Structure 1
Amino acid sequence: MNVFSDRSRIIITCNKRLTPYLELEVTELGFTLTRTFQTGVELEGTMADCIRLNLNLRCASQVHYSLKEFRAEHPEELYNVLVRMPWENILNNTSYISVTCTVDQLTVNNEMFVNVKVKDAIVDKLRRETSVRPNSGPDLTGAVIHLYWKDDRAEIFIDTSGETLAKHGYRKIPGKAPMLEALAASTVMATKWDRQSPFINPMCGSGTVAIEAALLATNRRPGLYRTNYSFMHLKDYDEQVYLAEMQRLRDQIKEVPGLLVEATDISDDAINISKVNAGIAGVENMIHFKRCDFALTDVPEGKEGVVYFNPEYGERLGDVKQLEETYARMGDFLKQKCKGYTGYIFTGNLDLAKKIGLKARRRIEFYNAKIDCRLLEYELYSGSKDKDRREKVSQE
């Protein structure tokens, strides 16, 4: 078994409701999907493909490379299958090894027990074949093995990512209740933004949405901000494959003349944090940061860009009664200052959304952690567009 040359099943996972955007990313990279499901996609490929996927994907969580699928009805049977696998051909005996599990099995009431069984099988085989016991633990900083076990079906994978890909590596200061980077990227992808016209982001918080917009526009990929993956700790890892993909990432960065990404927040701390994060991402000079109330955000006239709000919605931050006034003001801002633009408000509180006073053209479903959210889209017609729309309706 040589995982760097053998083709196998690859499962790419993501958070719920991000699959359409992950699917788009993977197919744009030239891969053919064999299956999509609620929390990910499936394809076939090599470890070199896994390296490319890890470095390029914005919406993914993990990239899993399948080693073996088998039947197991109890933990001892699981151990007996895994201890016979050729781990000495896959892992270095000097590697730090971690195990993760997804278990839905009647004989198991403690997932950690299964985790230990998998780890014991791997370590026992490596010690038998190499006379060295590798170090193991919970930190996902070395080689990571993942077990999926449901009913009597088990499958063992190399988690080629290690730490989740959903965090893109540039956000060293998170700020208050930050949006996960993979979610932020997916919501920007869900908008009608052409990645050239203005992107206006009032209430920017720690700057994640504005930064992800700038990264998308200039084709900067998450792999640029990360230096450690699980695949680097496998036996026969060829660093040249990784370095070649990294060079490809650098070469495909593009300039967008005149790009305007506007990010404002009433908090000095939020603006300072946003600037630090944007600097780490290499896009600080592409984003115009300003401390002000959102109603004072500059929106260039005569343009057809995007205005994107990610306000508090009463689940973790903010008092709902006070937020009712804020949402009403957001609606006034969109109606009065953003004509010709497409407006978006990301919220987990549809009762508050009613205070906006505009009818959403689309309601795009997302989750923010476990909170059921919507990205609400508003078509903000300019005077001439509104007149044309009324005339069209009257003719019909």
Structure 2
Amino acid sequence: MEVFNTPNKVIITCNRRLSPYLAQEVEALGFDIVRAFNTGVEVNASVNACIRLNLNLRIASQVLYEIKSFHAKNADELYQALVTIAWEELLPFEGYFSVTSNVHNETITTPLFANVKVKDAIVDRIKDKKGVRPNTGPELNQAVIHLHWIEDRAEIFLDTSGETLAKHGYRKHPGKAPMLEALATATIMATQWDRKSPFVNPMCGSGTLAIEAALMAQKRMPGLLRMNYAFMHFIGYNEEVFFEERRRLKESTDKKNLPHIIASDISDVAIDIAKSNAKTAGVEHLITFEVGDFAKTTIPEENGVIMFNPEYGERLGVHTKLEATYKRIGDFMKQECKGYRGYIFTGNLDLAKKIGLQASRRFEFFTGKLDCRLLQYELYEGSKEKPAASELRQDSKERSTGGKIHKLIRVSNKDNNDR
């Protein structure tokens, strides 16, 4: 079964509310989007093309290449359909594979049972053809097979990624409540930062936002930090394709005319962690780290973007200390960041009201299962800011992803269980 050079249906997944930004990335790579939905996009591509996607995408989670779609009412029908696939042409019989799944079928009480049926079909097929049983287990560091089974419709994929792409591999020390790397990238894309003007990140924590900004400015792809993908463990893999793409990415890295990026935090421990992460990412030299209260952060004279990701506190309830912090953030942006565009990422809309500035735009995101907003503030040179006591009153009714990004795709009305 030739998959490395045969275009077929490919699903690129991402976390909820990130698909418009993922679509922008995918289209920038020259792929046509067949369909978009809440947690990903569909394209038509070969597994060799999936190698390029894996190395270039910042926002994706998995790149899934479809092998077969079929109807299955129960586990027995699932097994019967899967055992007919020529797995011996896809998986090395002396190798190792794992199975992941997204299952919603009334006959299945746990996805683990469906996973076992998939493993049984593959192992039985290969044993019948080769006389050897391949090893299986939960680790995602070699070949990975993914089952998507909703009601009686099933699809089986080669997961060409393995470990998630949403983590970019540089964060060896995560720090306290770190933002997922893919989410950080999407929030920066939402600001439409030009990657040339200053990017300032007070209260930087483990440095994810500043590091992602530096990677984006340098056009340095996270794929350069990773040397193992699931596509390497399927029959037909040609390592020359992988290394040629890595070479191209290295050559396209921009090392000139880079912007001023500043990251500050009141905790010297947090700054040490951020520096360590930036060093692993290869961008430590591009970021100016400062220890101190956010109000002391250096603000370059040329206008740029300033982004905060403060603590949210509990979703409900009032926290006097955090209320005061959010008010100070608003005062600082208004007084010291004139000419910049200000952004605050928060999961607590009650606290956001304490900022005292009127948000010009609101972008919806999730972090984990928490409903969040990226709030945009125009910090005019004059005194055009008007505090709005009810600035977020209509927020729950808004569904904006912002600007050109929102126009890139139309998300399907039916997300088919986020797929």
State the TM bucket, normalised to the shorter chain. over 0.9
Provide structure 1 residue ranges, at least 5 long, that are not aligned to the other structure.
388-396
Which deviates more from structure 2 when the two are superposed, residues 257-266 or residues 354-363? 257-266
Q: Which amino acid aligns with 1:308?
A: M
**Shift of residue 178, structure 1, vs aligned partner:** 0.3
**Aligned partners of 1:15 and 1:61 also within 8 Å:** yes
Q: For 1:9-48, what per-residue CA distance to the aligned partner results, in whole angstroms no more than 9, with x for missing partners? A: 0000000000010000000000001000011000101011
Q: For 1:277-310, what per-residue CA distance to the aligned partner results, in whole angstroms no more than 9, with x for missing partners? A: 0001110000000100000001022x22000000
Q: Does 1:47 align with 2:47?
A: yes
- Equivalent residue for 1:339? 338
Q: For 1:183-234, what per-residue CA distance to the aligned partner results, in whole angstroms no more than 9, with x for missing partners? A: 0000001103110000000000000000000011110111011111100000
State how far apart, in whole Å, the 1-side matches of 2:169 and 2:263 are.
20
**Shift of residue 258, structure 1, vs aligned partner:** 5.1
Q: For 1:363-384, what per-residue CA distance to the aligned partner results, in whole angstroms no more than 9, with x for missing partners? A: 100000100000000000013x
Q: Does 1:287 align with 2:287?
A: yes
Provide structure 2 residue ranges, at least 5 long, that are not aligned to the other structure.
386-419
Q: Which gives a bigger RCO, structure 1 or 2 (Cα 8 Å, sep 6+)?
A: 2
SS in 1 for 2:73: coil
- Equivalent residue for 1:367? 366
State how far apart, in whole Å, the 2-side matches of 1:258 and 1:28 are.
21
- Equivalent residue for 2:144? 144
- Equivalent residue for 1:233? 233
**Aligned partners of 2:93 and 2:130 also within 8 Å:** yes
Q: Does 1:223 align with 2:210?
A: no
**Aligned partners of 2:141 and 2:162 also within 8 Å:** yes
TM-score normalised by structure 2 residue count: 0.90
- Equivalent residue for 2:105? 105
SS in 1 for 2:135: coil
- Equivalent residue for 2:122? 122
Q: Let me know the Cα RMSD of the aligned residues.
A: 1.4
- Equivalent residue for 2:311? 312
SS in 2 for 1:243: helix
Q: Aligned ranges for residues 1-396 of structure 1 at < 5 Å?
A: 1-257=1-257, 259-301=259-301, 303-315=302-314, 320-383=319-382
Q: Which amino acid aligns with 1:48?
A: N
Q: Which amino acid aligns with 1:368?
A: T
**Shift of residue 256, structure 1, vs aligned partner:** 3.9
State how far apart, in whole Å, the 1-side matches of 2:189 and 2:126 are.
44
SS in 1 for 2:212: helix
Q: Which amino acid aligns with 1:259?
A: P
State how far apart, in whole Å, the 1-side matches of 2:318 and 2:139 are.
37
**Shift of residue 111, structure 1, vs aligned partner:** 1.0
Q: Which amino acid aligns with 1:166?
A: A
Q: Which amino acid aligns with 1:97?
A: F
State how far apart, in whole Å, the 1-side matches of 2:109 and 2:209 are.
40
State how far apart, in whole Å, the 2-side matches of 1:319 and 1:222 are.
39
Q: Which amino acid aligns with 1:376?
A: L
**Aligned partners of 2:142 and 2:233 also within 8 Å:** yes
Moved over 4 A (4+): none
State how far apart, in whole Å, the 1-side matches of 2:129 and 2:236 are.
17
**Shift of residue 127, structure 1, vs aligned partner:** 1.2
**Shift of residue 253, structure 1, vs aligned partner:** 0.4
**Shift of residue 321, structure 1, vs aligned partner:** 2.2
**Shift of residue 319, structure 1, vs aligned partner:** 8.3
State how far apart, in whole Å, the 1-side matches of 2:214 and 2:72 are.
48
State how far apart, in whole Å, the 1-side matches of 2:95 and 2:179 are.
33
Which deviates more from structure 2 when the two are superposed, residues 124-133 or residues 319-328? 319-328
State how far apart, in whole Å, the 2-side matches of 1:304 and 1:256 are.
20
SS in 1 for 2:26: helix
SS in 2 for 1:17: coil
State how far apart, in whole Å, the 1-side matches of 2:256 and 2:219 are.
10
SS in 2 for 1:325: helix
Q: For 1:327-376, what per-residue CA distance to the aligned partner results, in whole angstroms no more than 9, with x for missing partners? A: 00000100110000000000000100000000000010000010000000
What number of residue pairs does the alignment pair up?
384
